[in-house]
Amino acid sequence: KNAIYDELKNQPATTLDGVAVKLFVNTGLLADLSPGIKHGADGVGLYRTEIPFLIRDSFPTEDEQVQVYQKVLEAYQGKPVYMRTLDVGGDKQLPYFPLGIEENPALGWRGIRFSLDNIQLLITQLRAMLRASVGHNELHVLIPMVSSTQELDEFRDCLSKVMQQLSAEGYAVEMPKIGVMIEVPAAISQLPFWENKIDFISVGTNDLSQYLLALDRNNSRVANRFDHVHPAVLHELYRIINTAKSYRIPVSICGEMSSDPVAVLLLLGMGVTKFSLGSSKLPKIKYLIRHVVKQQAEALLQKALEKDNVIEIRKLANDFIQKIN
């Protein structure tokens, strides 16, 4: 199939009945930028800024961050880049800034909580992102692990102050689009309140599934029970997509679901048209999308939503995929 995948590079990810899907890449390493471009990615749907922080032995300075972020924006010139602010804590520890032992790290000091409590780090990072984006108007800033309106408001205040500061210093900065990661279940019912505060959402299906199922897939004792097409996860995703639709908030999906053909079909059936995934998985998912009729994915979804277990859901979707190939 490799030859087929190569040919796909310049073909759009459009379904047989003409629904245009955008496929973005997840990245964090500069070394990952060219594979994404090679596979014809439509942009970067998740740039994990913690990765350049994790591979160093001290915090990168503002200028050092500007250089890294510029490379990403330049590589994807004219295409959207969703840059996520630092998402450390939980399973991602900075070697030079010990977070201390926590009884429940997954529920602890991580994501935006950590950044707001270390506001100078956030200010430096936002300054670097905005400075890097001068001349590239496709910067989208993504906030990880948001669970309350206060966090979103504090973040927005910080961003406005940084914008003012930079303008006063003479930088021609423009307001980026702001989005939140939907990965804490509490964010789901908050979404209607955030309609006028955000420009988009990105659903982090790894953490969202982990928190909905209260199940750590990195724990080998329970990992075999983890499946992101669990009916409870599907029903919550459907709720997120429908809420976002009714408030006209653009949605994209990052996390492992975007590279699982079964999940992609079901999400397509829900109306998702933006997926972000590891670049090596992109051709396979593009191939799938180009061979699906969206209306049939909708019908598949409706059948799946009536099932109460993952075995039957996967069987339905896999039978569907068999007919495509």
228 is in the binding site of which of ligand PEP, Mg ion, none (Cβ under 5 to 8 A by kind)? none
In the complex with Mg ion, the residue whose CB is nearer, 151 or 183, is: 183
In the complex with ligand PEP, the residue whose CB is nearer, 40 or 144, is: 144
Minimum CB separation of residue 80 from ligand PEP in Å reads 16
Single out the segment in contact with Mg ion by CB under 5 A; choices: 36-44, 49-57, 177-185, 267-275: 177-185
Instruction: Find where tokens 């998985």 sit.
Output: 281
Minimum CB separation of residue 205 from ligand PEP in Å reads 5
In the complex with Mg ion, the residue whose CB is nearer, 89 or 176, is: 89
CB 144 within 8 A of CB 183: yes
Strands 44-48 and 274-277, by their bridges, are: unpaired
In the complex with Mg ion, the residue whose CB is nearer, 124 or 205, is: 205
Please identify which residue in 204, 261, 269, 283 interacts with Mg ion, judged by CB under 5 A. Answer: 204
CA dihedral sign of residues 216, 219, 221, 224: positive
Minimum CB separation of residue 167 from ligand PEP in Å reads 31
CB 113 within 8 A of CB 150: no
Minimum CB separation of residue 82 from ligand PEP in Å reads 11
Q: Any idea what DSSP says for residue 60?
A: P
Minimum CB separation of residue 287 from ligand PEP in Å reads 23
Minimum CB separation of residue 302 from Mg ion in Å reads 29
Q: Label residue 23 exposed, middle or buried (CB < 10 Å: 0-12, 13-18, 19+).
A: buried
Minimum CB separation of residue 87 from ligand PEP in Å reads 6
286 is in the binding site of which of Mg ion, ligand PEP, none (Cβ under 5 to 8 A by kind)? none
264, 269, 239: which is closest to 253 by C-alpha?
A: 264
- The packing angle between helices 261-270 and 231-246, to 10°, is 40
CB 116 within 8 A of CB 154: yes
Please identify which residue in 32, 50, 151, 207 interacts with Mg ion, judged by CB under 5 A. Answer: 207
71, 309, 92, 34: which is closest to 218 by C-alpha?
A: 92
149, 194, 180: which is closest to 252 by C-alpha?
A: 180
CB count in 10 Å sphere of residue 101: 7
Please give the single-letter amino acid code of residue 81: V
Binding residues (CB under 6 A) for ligand PEP: these are: 46, 48, 87, 183, 204-207, 254-255
Strands, DSSP E only, in the chain? 13-14, 20-27, 44-48, 81-84, 139-143, 177-182, 200-204, 251-254, 274-277
In the complex with Mg ion, the residue whose CB is nearer, 168 or 214, is: 214
48 is in the binding site of which of Mg ion, ligand PEP, none (Cβ under 5 to 8 A by kind)? ligand PEP
83, 39, 34: which is closest to 285 by C-alpha?
A: 39
191 is in the binding site of which of Mg ion, ligand PEP, none (Cβ under 5 to 8 A by kind)? none
In the complex with ligand PEP, the residue whose CB is nearer, 48 or 294, is: 48
Minimum CB separation of residue 184 from ligand PEP in Å reads 10
Single out the segment in contact with Mg ion by CB under 5 A; choices: 32-40, 49-57, 206-214, 298-306: 206-214
Q: Binding to Mg ion by residue 227, rule CB under 5 A?
A: no
Would you tell me which residues interact with Mg ion (CB under 5 A)?
Answer: 183, 204, 207
